Structures are given as structure tokens and as C-alpha cells.
Structure 1
Amino acid sequence: MTIEIIPLLEGVSNATLTAYIQDASMDQRFPIIRPAIIICPGGAYIGITEKEAEPVALRFIAAGYHVFVLRYSIGTQIGRFPAPFIDAAKSVMLIRENAKRWYVDADKISLCGFSTGGHSAAVLSASWQDDYLVKAIGADSHLFKPNALILGYPLLDLYQFKMKSLKNSLDMQPLLEMMFSAIYGTINPNDTLLEEWSCTRRVTSNMPPTFLWTTSEDAVVDVEESLNFVKVLVANKIPYEFHIFEKGAHGLSLGDETVGYKEADMRKHVNVHKWVDLALSWLKNLQG
């Protein structure tokens, strides 16, 4: 396996794409052409949640994928919207342009995002054809079109997230202010700004097939966001699979011992770890 860290815009952004490229085969005459998946960890747009990065990558590597971890632009001035979505688009394009060199199936490039990483992945999946990306990257939009999308407890509606967070029993105000400062340049963005980058408002028939999972106990991103998003997928006739696990807090990643959970912890979110096998089965059926 080859592991390479690729700066996406050196000197301007802190975004990187870490590539985990599996060996083609023992016989170069008959290389194995593999699907690829880009992992987008969460972190509230002010950090990167590492348990949603390499541990998830390793699971997909074991299933036969080339895997790429996108650590998109974050932080004040650097991560302001639409920078993270441009990073995601560049990642898809980079993989597609290097498909022959990396033995990637260029028609099987998926995104997998968690929490705010799920927001970035979903925004790109919904808006890959939009002018803001074409102007920023200067390339044909089909080069950065993802073929499938996997979302774990994703942030999907920024207006709803703000309203629910302020009513939540958790003290979310400091986190909201840091996140909004990073992505909007203000701690109190108006409703128009919040709605502009809400995924539910951007879905069209161009959205790729989507797999989504969350938990009913998530106290950070309300399950209602996912329910509303699925309704929009249905309205646009987008193929989807949706799982709501009864137990489990926000940010579980794989939900097992590989990301630090003990047996007692796993009993509190008993079935969440099954999402990986469900997603892999869904992808296999989708990709043929």
C-alpha cells in the first residue's frame, strides 16, 4: 500500500487529501481496478475529528477500496464557505484524473461524511453541477461529480441546527459562535446565509444515490434534519437507504473498540457498529 498526503491548495488552504492506495496486484498485467471512497470527518468546521478519519479509512480498505481522507479547509478566514465544498470537489476531480495511475474505477468514486463532514459531502453531492464550483476550479463539473454518498449523523440544515441548538439543554452557544465565525466570518449569520448552504434546499435530480444513518438519541444534530432530508430525496426520486438506530450519542464513528469504545460503552449504542456492513452491502449492490 502507498500512503501519500496531497496538499489541495498549498500556501492558501490547510486542506489535504491523504491517499491510501492499495497495491494493484502481484501481476501488473492484470491490475485490480478498485472503487474509491473519500472520507470527510466532522469537527464543527473548527477542527478534524480523527476517529472519523483513519479508523474509518481502514475499514473501507479492508473491504477492497482505495480510500482518501479529506481534511478540508477549517478555521477563520481559511474555512469560510464555500472553501470546504471546493476542497471536496477538487478531491473527486483529482482521483478521477489519476484513475489510471491509481487503478481507480473512475465511475465508482463515493463520499462518506460525518457530522459537519457530512454537510460538506452532502453539499458537494447536491451542487456539483453549480457555477460556483466551475468558476472556482475552472474545470468541467462532471469531473467532480460523486457517484454515491454515505452520511453518518450529518449536519444538513444550518438554520434548523441553530434553532434546535439554542433550545437544547446542552450549552451550544460557544460552539455555534466558533463554527459560524469560521464558516461565515460572523458569529451571528442571518437566516439567508444559513439557508444558502442548507443541504435540503440544494437537492435536485442530480443528487447521487445516498445512504444515511443517524440515532434517535443524537442531542447535537436532531434526527429531524435527516428525516427532512430524506423527504427531499424522495421528492426528487433519488435512490436512498436510511437507518435510524435507537441508541447512541452524536459522533460515534465506527461505534466499536477500534475508536476507543469499551464493552460497557457499546452496550449503550448496541447496534450502531452495524452501519458499516450495511453501507458496504448497499454500495456493492449499487456499484455491481
Structure 2
Amino acid sequence: MHYQKINYPDNDKVWLECYIQDSGLKLGQDLVRPALVICPGGGYVYLSPREAEPVALAYAAKGIQAFVLHYSLGWEVKGFQPLKEMDWAIGLIREHANDWYVDADKILACGFSAGGHLALSSGLLGKNRPNGLILGYPATDMSGQGSELMQMLFFGKEGPAKEEKIWLNPVQAVTKDAPPLFMFTTAEDTLTRRSTLDLVMAYEEKGCLLEYHLFQKGPHGYSLANEACADGSSQVIDPHVEKWLDLSVEWIFSVFGQLEFRDISTSHIMDAIKELGIPLPQEATGKGIENA
């Protein structure tokens, strides 16, 4: 794996972190893998580190190329600037698909809380749209109670124009062409439980591909629900909720295609020995060494 940080054009406050696995470990594929653009949450005023690198590394361990978008925050959100940055990130990954061993037709947006709102908006309103969505306890509707802050951030004023209101509630933009969706939250998360159900119903009414998990227990913002992202709080650790990651990976491969394995040895020991110029007896070149 190698790591890259790529700044958004003319704004070094916005960047894309790239966790790219090379083609050496193929996991059944010749070169390319699915990819995720991860959008951490934080109410568009900060980015939660628990929903950034730990999530990227967890998906990378499953053989998926992972990217984390550090998008605009605070007053720089105006005009829904983060959506433009998602367009840039997805376009950049597609442009470099061959270099980064990415399947350009298997790029998904993954978001948590406000990052889930951004990921969903990318799938429904973006110019470079992802092929699928993974949303964790997403704040899909920001037009209800307490929306004054979001209106000020998005529009610089309260009372947005009619055509702008969809930015606060992109659920209204669900059509029959909406990207496949995997979504999860908990019954105890009063911030997102009802709005996620609205999104489920919108997908159901349009006949769109959807998998939805409503876990019983867990607060808002639990990320991976394990020690890797607990940040010192045992409240966000739950082995049952933690299963969402494996479920999402199974879903990715069931929707976008399984890996194809070939029954050949993957050992390179004999190649290394030959390069060193070490002579071996004939009997030592058998399957025992090749498959070591």
C-alpha cells in the first residue's frame, strides 16, 4: 500500500487522502478493485477523525481501495462547495483508475452523519456520481428543526431559494436511477432513525436497490463500533453493531461482482532463488518449496 495526499485545486484546506494497494496482492483480481470515497461526519463544522482513517484502513484490509475526502467546512460550505469537491474526488479517481488499480465502474461514496448527507447528495445530485452508496447513520434531511445553522452555512442566510432547498434534503431527488444503497443506523439514534426510514421509503417507491440495517442499540457517531475508533469512549463499542462493516463488504461484492480466483500458486520463492543464482538439486524444486 502507498499513501498520497492530493490537494483540491487552489485550496489547500481541502484534500483527498489515498490509501492505495498496489497490484502485488491481487486477492483474486488481476489488477483492479472497488473503491470508496469516505466522507467523515461532523455537522459541516469539523471532520470526525474516528470516521476517517480507521474506516479507510478497515476497508483496505478487505481488499478495497480507500480514499478520505477532507471537504470544506464552516462558512466555506456556502453554495454547497463540498458537493463540488466530491465531484472532483470521484472524477480524479476515475481519471487515475489504471494507475491506482481501481475499477472505474465500482466507485462508491461512503459517508457518516453529515458526511452521509454529502455522500447521498453526490449520488443523487452530483455531476460525477458514484456507482453505489454506503451510508452510516446519515443526516439525510437537514431541513427540519434546528436547520437555521445549516441554512446559514449552505446559503449565507435563512430562507433559501426554492431550487436550493433540495440541498438540505436530497431524499427528494431519489429517482429510479438512484445508485444502489447500503445503509445502517440504530433505533437509539434519534438524530437519524426517522430520516433514514424516509430514504428507505423513497428507494422502495422508486424500486431502487437497497439494503438497510436498523440495529437496536448504539449512540449516534459510533463509526466502526470497535476499539480502533473508540477515542477513549466505551459507549461506542458494540460487537453486534460492529458487524455492519462485514455486511457492507459482502453487499459490495454481491452487487458489483465477486472476485474471481484462479487455482495457481502465488508463491514467488523459486523466482527469488533463481535471481540469486543459487543452484538447487532437482528434488528441491518440487511443490514443497514452490508452495512454501
| TM beyond 0.5 | yes
d(CA) in 1 for partners of 2:2, 2:219: 35
Indicate conservation of the 8 Å contact 2:203/2:209, yes or no: yes
Q: Give the equivalent residue in structure 2 for 1:243.
A: 213
Q: Give the equivalent residue in structure 2 for 1:138.
A: none
Structure 1 stretches of 4+ moved >6 Å: none
The answer as to 2:23 corresponding to 1:2 is: no
Indicate conservation of the 8 Å contact 1:108/1:287, yes or no: yes
1:190 Cα deviation after fit: 5.1
The answer as to 2:38 corresponding to 1:39 is: yes
Q: Scaled by the length of structure 1, what TM-score is found?
A: 0.81
CA RMSD in angstroms, aligned pairs only? 2.2
The answer as to 2:233 corresponding to 1:260 is: no
**Matched residue type, 2:10:** E
**Matched residue type, 1:184:** F
Q: Give the equivalent residue in structure 2 for 1:146.
A: 130
Structure exhibiting the larger radius of gyration computed from Cα positions: 2
Q: Which has the higher helix share?
A: 1
Q: Give the equivalent residue in structure 2 for 1:95.
A: 93
d(CA) in 2 for partners of 1:67, 1:222: 25
Please give the secondary structure, in 1, of the residue aligned with 2:118.
helix
Gaps of 5+ in 1: 134-143, 166-175
d(CA) in 1 for partners of 2:212, 2:37: 20
Q: Give the equivalent residue in structure 2 for 1:136.
A: none
d(CA) in 2 for partners of 1:230, 1:57: 26
Indicate conservation of the 8 Å contact 2:132/2:181, yes or no: yes
1:264 Cα deviation after fit: 5.3
**Matched residue type, 1:281:** E
Q: Give the equivalent residue in structure 1 for 2:103.
A: 105
d(CA) in 1 for partners of 2:73, 2:8: 13
Q: Give the equivalent residue in structure 2 for 1:285.
A: 254
Q: Give the equivalent residue in structure 1 for 2:282.
A: none
Indicate conservation of the 8 Å contact 1:127/1:203, yes or no: no
**Matched residue type, 1:239:** L
1:95 Cα deviation after fit: 0.4
Q: Give the equivalent residue in structure 2 for 1:159.
A: 143
Q: Give the equivalent residue in structure 1 for 2:186.
A: 215
1:240 to 1:9, Cα distance in 2 relative to 1, 3 A: same
Q: Give the equivalent residue in structure 2 for 1:62.
A: 61
Indicate conservation of the 8 Å contact 2:109/2:122, yes or no: no
1:73 to 1:266, Cα distance in 2 relative to 1, 3 A: closer
d(CA) in 1 for partners of 2:236, 2:141: 29
1:75-133 C-alpha deviation (Å, 9 max, x unpaired) = 21x221321111111111110111111111111111110001000100110123xxxx4
d(CA) in 1 for partners of 2:239, 2:232: 12
Gaps of 5+ in 2: 258-292
d(CA) in 1 for partners of 2:133, 2:82: 16
d(CA) in 2 for partners of 1:276, 1:72: 23
The answer as to 2:173 corresponding to 1:202 is: yes
Please give the secondary structure, in 1, of the residue aligned with 2:13.
coil
d(CA) in 2 for partners of 1:195, 1:101: 36
Please give the secondary structure, in 1, of the residue aligned with 2:123.
helix
Indicate conservation of the 8 Å contact 2:184/2:215, yes or no: yes
Count the aligned residue pairs: 254
Q: Give the equivalent residue in structure 2 for 1:172.
A: none
1:66 to 1:182, Cα distance in 2 relative to 1, 3 A: same
d(CA) in 2 for partners of 1:227, 1:148: 18
Indicate conservation of the 8 Å contact 1:45/1:183, yes or no: no
Q: Scaled by the length of structure 2, what TM-score is found?
A: 0.80
Indicate conservation of the 8 Å contact 1:41/1:115, yes or no: yes
